[in-house]
Structure 1
């Protein structure tokens, strides 16, 4: 069963990449009316949250990524130095390789303290997969709204 959640990450990331095929790059930073973020932010947010939950505070991302893409951040508050969508997409692909290498034996490990109600690493992995799929849906919605405008 645990292997299935790792496969879910592969399916979700594949779906996101498929949604982005052939999309004009300027679409990535359009924030459609009534929505609070952009595709660019959504991609960065998936990357940051997954890195934090599955690989910890000392993951492989620069610390400032949390300022750009963490909970409560907004693209309207961005200054300079934001990583490009291309960079984020490469990091998402690299991160997926690391996710697929997670040992399912680690799923039973207790977390030092619960994270969003999750008490084991496995629960957190499942929650993170759910989180990613939620944002994949947001990306799809933003793309459709931005392309229609």
Structure 2
């Protein structure tokens, strides 16, 4: 079922995935001077937050690969990693699969109330599925802009 929120969410995810497809794995791990994260971290973080908001908070089954919380939760950074991160190709596959799960599982549940309601760290209160997915549009776009900025910095120093 087509809906503005799910269409926009799919749009921003597709833009991000298409943008990183031609970056090599080592390029995705470069952390420009002055920043604390790389392209790979931003993609993994997008996946983790999407799982939380689209599935965990709506009471649906989550699919967190092993160690994703240690690698990509808020506050984590690659300089602290002591385990091998997924490859860029693996992240692209996970992000693509996740987009399909959102559409198939949640597109007909947008107006359903979530219980308990969720209050974000900034005080924003979410009461239904559509509000959670609406937040993810913002979150994905913000991290996509960060990815583009990181790539621009990398390209300008090579």
Structure 1 unpaired stretches of 5+: none
Partner residue of 2:149 out of 118, 127, 141: 141
**Residue 110 of structure 1: CA displacement?**
2.1
Match of 1:66 in 2: 69
Q: Matches of 1:105 and 1:18 in 2, distance apart?
A: 27
Q: Matches of 2:16 and 2:65 in 1, distance apart?
A: 23
Counting only pairs closer than 5 Å after superposition, residues 50-89 of structure 1 correspond to structure 2 as 50-56=50-56, 58-89=61-92
Q: Relative to structure 2, which stretch is displaced further, 30-39 or 16-25? A: 16-25
TM-score between both structures, scaled by the size of structure 2: 0.85
Q: Matches of 1:49 and 1:103 in 2, distance apart?
A: 16
Counting only pairs closer than 5 Å after superposition, residues 27-38 of structure 1 correspond to structure 2 as 27-38=27-38
Structure 2 unpaired stretches of 5+: none
CA RMSD of aligned residues (A): 1.8
**Residue 29 of structure 1: CA displacement?**
0.5
Deviation by residue 1:126-145 (Cα, 9 ceiling, x = unmatched): 00111111101111101111
Q: Matches of 2:65 and 2:22 in 1, distance apart?
A: 29
Moved over 6 A (4+): none
Deviation by residue 1:1-55 (Cα, 9 ceiling, x = unmatched): x711111122112211232243233210011112221000000000110011111
Q: Matches of 2:72 and 2:156 in 1, distance apart?
A: 25
Q: Check the 8 A contact 1:53/1:124 in 2, yes or no.
A: yes
More helix by share: 1
**Residue 92 of structure 1: CA displacement?**
0.4
Q: Matches of 1:104 and 1:115 in 2, distance apart?
A: 22
